[in-house]
Amino acid sequence: MTDKPRVAVVTFPGSNDDHDAAWALGAVGADPVAAWHQDAELPAGTGGVVLPGGFSYGDYLRTGAIASVAPVMDAVRAFAAAGGPVLGICNGFQTLCEARLLPGVLRPNRQLEFVCEDVTVRVENADAPFLSRCSPGQELVIPVKHGEGAWYADQWTFVQLAARGQIVLRYADDVNGALGNVAGVVNQARNVMGLMPHPEHAVDPLLGSGDGGLLLAALVDTAAAFRATLAVA
Amino acid sequence: MKAVVMVRPKEGILDPQGDAVRHSLRKLGFEVSGTRVGRLIDLELTADDPADAEAQVERMCSELLANPLIESYEILLEDP
């Protein structure tokens, strides 16, 4: 075991960015470990969890719906309840919303087309551990690739989330018809975050952008801090 | 006992799939002013008691089959 913060990447049947996520986490200083959808527990020493992108369970029923009730999600729920940082990327975001660990839901893109492009997202609120390496108003270039990325919540929820600073990332332009151009949200405790763009595909300027690395590195920082609090306790 | 669950996009919720179907129907020459696409789920239940069956299906709907944020559902119980 290394002394690098251990981040578990959960693989569901149909996840396809799990390996990229693990590679990117390794590139920003984590010790990435694999977790499986049927696991009842997260790997020993887990300090952070990533639910990766993909098409879990073939997107049956609704995107993320089947994954949200997979056995491993009980462990993820308990980990989040204990204050552990959990990041859901794309299908992982959809799964966290379906699991009601995050507010809202991801609906089919308004234009009914799969979008696959680099987009600019603005840091709306940096008051969450995942955004500790960003500043408010900062623009990040991170690719999206999704068919069901239009975040939606009812108006009252939306207003409350905005007031509490839980809307952390917004697209600079309308990408998919998301309410308020929302690209990423955090839970009220701010230790669970979901976003549609793929930070794991943007960790090296050589491949277009390194901006995603800021989010992943912040997750790694948080995973280290979370493990340290457990060690003290 | 059998049950049918009909899940629909809630009223007022944008349904791009329904819109696409409507556009295609129009291309075929049909006059349709509105189209919504939902989902139908056939269930075969082991419960015999209708009240018990309905309560079970109700829970299935709220826990998995429908997302109450964007979908409404209707349960039809079919007597054997």
> Which of the residues in chain A have pLDDT under 70?
1-2, 232-233
Q: Would the ipTM clear 0.90, i.e. be above it?
A: no
Q: Say if B12 is an interface residue toward chain A (CB within 8 Å).
A: no
Instruction: Look at B16 and A65 and tell me if their CB atoms are within 8 Å.
Output: no
Reduced to 3 states (helix: H, G, I; strand: E, B; else coil), residue B5 is strand
Question: For position A176, what pLDDT does the model report?
Answer: 97
Number of domains in chain B: 1
pLDDT digit string, tens, across residues A176-204: 999 999 999 999 999 999 999 999 999 99
pLDDT digit string, tens, across residues A65-104: 999 999 999 999 999 999 999 999 999 999 999 999 999 9
Question: Which of A62, A69, A110 minimises the CB distance to B14?
Answer: A110
Rounded to the nearest 10 degrees, the angle between the axes of helix A212-232 and helix A18-27 is 80
CA of B13 vs chain A CAs: smallest distance (Å) = 10
Q: In which domain, by residue range, is B17 found?
A: 2-78
Contacts of B13 in chain A (CB under 8 A): 107, 152
**CA A197/CA B12 separation, integer angstroms:** 27
Contacts of A152 in chain B (CB under 8 A): 13, 69-70
In B18-47, the residues whose Cβ lies within 8 Å of chain A are: 19-20, 39
**CA A19/CA A37 separation, integer angstroms:** 15
Contacts of A105 in chain B (CB under 8 A): 67, 69-70
Instruction: Look at B70 and A110 and tell me if their CB atoms are within 8 Å.
Output: no
**CA A210/CA A214 separation, integer angstroms:** 8
Q: Please indicate whether residue B12 or residue A138 has the higher confidence score (pLDDT).
A: A138
Instruction: Look at B69 and A104 and tell me if their CB atoms are within 8 Å.
Output: yes
A210: left (phi over 0), alpha (psi -120 to 50) or beta: alpha
Binned at pLDDT 50, 70 and 90, residue B80 comes out as low
Question: Which of A62, A69, A109 minimises the CB distance to B67?
Answer: A62
Contacts of A177 in chain B (CB under 8 A): 14, 16
**Which residue ranges form the domains of chain A, and what is each CATH number?**
6-232 (3.40.50.880)
Question: For position B24, what pLDDT does the model report?
Answer: 95
The CATH number linked to B10 is 3.30.1280.10
Which residues of A are part of the catalytic machinery?
90, 198, 200
pLDDT digit string, tens, across residues B19-69: 999 999 999 999 999 999 999 999 999 998 999 999 999 999 999 999 999
DSSP letters of A72-112? Answer: HHHHHHHHHHTT--EEEETHHHHHHHHTTSSSSEEE--TT-
